[in-house]
Structure formats: structure tokens, C-alpha cells
Amino acid sequence: MIDLQEDSPIELIRNLPYWNKDEIAISATPAGESNMNLVLRVLTNQRSVILKQSKSFVRKFPQIPAPIQRIEVEYAFYRLLQGSSELRDFSPKVIHFDAENYILLTEDLGAGSDFIGLYSKAKNLDWSQIRQLGFYLKSLHSIKPASFPSNLEMKKLNHEHIFNFPFIETNGMNLDAIQQGLQELSIPFKRNSALKIALKKLGDRYLATGNTLIQGDFYPASWLEIDQNIKVIDPEFGFLGDAEFDLGVLFAHLKLSQQSSDLKTEFLDTYSSEFDEKLAAQYENVEIMRRLIGIAQLPLILSLGAKQELLTQATETLTAS
């Protein structure tokens, strides 16, 4: 297997069998802060492309194993969206897929930035953009593919870090390194037996096969702003499941980034599809909890008191009969 790195010599990139006649790679640089995969922006004498390679571990947390086949899911997802007139412009076009080396080559959507800055108020989400997100999910959830990869191993990985790991009292995480007092604050939630029962039930549902194609990781790092338009990337967690999971994740991050409730209302007006509000709220609140006390931390500007309030509200929602 070709094993590319962020500092791989340009000669190695040039020798990859993906280029057009007389095309020469000039440079290869990291394309943003990818959590899961190696992602390079390759500039050639003819164009700029994005090269992504999945590894057998999580790029941001190399100690966490991850299914290397996840790039196949991303490829299938993008190919499916290219057949949709509503969705094809939201995602990059596939140029080449090398299954043997777990490499996906796509078009470069251009200079842009993700929405991680929402959490620190360094970036805003405007009305047009929330409507684009609503249109994207409405269109995505209406697709009825004849088949799609089960993506079970990635679901198991995500399941562990959403429904299990954050709630283990002896998981080895020092939450005080994130915010002093957070470790002690987290203990009652990790010891809540009713919460554990609710998480088990919801987690089992997450692992089951549904009938709706979902993006699977629909949060601000997966949204790019390019010329004020929204692009959606990184669908390696995509699968056939509950539409409410995508919705719940979105709602959780609107709350975590302290967005106006009017934005959620505008989103729902655009999404305009029926869904199970209770189920979406359950997914929303487990996402909030795992982002506050799990390994997938965010650059939040929330006080300890605000986090306690969110954790308490989430627990009440998840344990409500």
C-alpha cells in the first residue's frame, strides 16, 4: 500500500498514477485540519485537487483504531450525490478512486473555511446558510438508494464515542485539563443508572439499519463556506439510519455554539419534512453530552455552570419516559 504523509516528497506524489497526460504535481500541502484522514491539496501545472487517504487509525487521535475502508463509503456517498440535481453542487466531484490504496481524489472546491469558529463567535451562520443546510438535509433524506454500504465498523466506532466512552468513570480522560472542575462535574452523570439504560436503548437504535441516507457527522467542521455558499464534506460516517440523527447533531451544535433559536426555526421551515421530534431531541442531547465530557472536544467558550446546565437538561431529556 502507498502510505502517504503530510510531508511526503513531491516526487512520490508525482509518481501516483492519477494524473493527466503532461500533468505534473507542483506542491502538496495539508488541506485544513482533518480529524479522521490524511487530506492534501495538490497543485499541478493544470489544476488543484484534493487527495484524501484513510488510515487504520484516527488522524487526530492515532491511538484510536479506525476502519480503513471508510474512504469507500465517502466515495459511494459522493457518487450517489452526483446523480442528484439538488445535491451535486454541495459536494466535490470525484476524479479518481484507488480502492487498493484507500485514496480518493476529488475536485478542489476552492479557498474557504469551515464553521468551527461558530463556537468562539469568530464566525457567523447567516439566514441564507441555514436555509442551505436545511435544503441539503431535506434533499439528502429524500434519496432512496437501492443499496449503500452498511458502514457498520464506522458506526461502531462512532457509537463507542457517543454512547459509551464519555460515560465511563474510569475512561482515563482528565477533563480538568480541558476546564478545571469539569472532571468532578462529570461524575454524577457517569454514575446515573437511568441515563445508562437510556443510552443503551438509543445506542442500539443508532447501530440498527434504517431506511434514510444520512451524512452521519453533520456538524460545523463538515460545512465549508465558499463564496458565501455552503459545501458539505467528510461523509465517511454516512449510512442508512435515522434522519433524526443528522437533525439532532445539527441542533446540538446550534445550541453548543449559542446560536439564535431563530436559526433553528428557519432551518425547520426549509427542511419542512416530518420527523420524530422526541427521537431528534434524544440524539441532540447525547451529542451535547459527549461533546462536553467525551474525547471529541470543541473550542467552546462555555462556563462550567453553563456546561452543568446543559448536561442536566440533556440527562432529563434522555431519561424522560
Predicted confidence (pLDDT) per residue in 148-169, tens digit:
999 999 999 999 999 999 999 9
Domain contains 4: no
CATH code of residue 83 = 3.30.200.20
- How many CA atoms does the CB half-sphere of 57 hold within 13 Å? 7
Listed as ranges, residues in the chain with pLDDT below 50 are none
Same domain, 98 and 141: no
Domain boundary among 70, 90, 107: 107
Number of structural domains the chain divides into: 2
Give the domain range for residue 62. 10-107
Q: Cα–Cα distances in Å, from 237 out to 59, 98, 209, 227? A: 15, 19, 13, 26
Chain centroid to CA 109: how far? Answer: 18
Domain contains 155: yes
Residues 279 and 288: their CA atoms lie apart, in Å, by 14
Neighbours of 260 (CB within 10 A): 11
pLDDT at 110: 83
Same domain, 209 and 131: yes
Chain centroid to CA 189: how far? Answer: 25
Domain boundary among 60, 83, 107: 107
Same domain, 157 and 50: no
Same domain, 87 and 122: no
Same domain, 140 and 38: no
38-44 and 94-98 strand pairing: unpaired
Domain contains 3: no
Domain boundary among 62, 86, 107: 107
Which residues, including other chains, have CB under 8 Å from residue 100's CB and lie 6 or more apart? 1
pTM of the full predicted structure?
0.95
Same domain, 263 and 291: yes
pLDDT at 146: 84
pLDDT at 96: 96
Q: Which residue has the cell 476552492?
A: 110
pLDDT at 62: 87
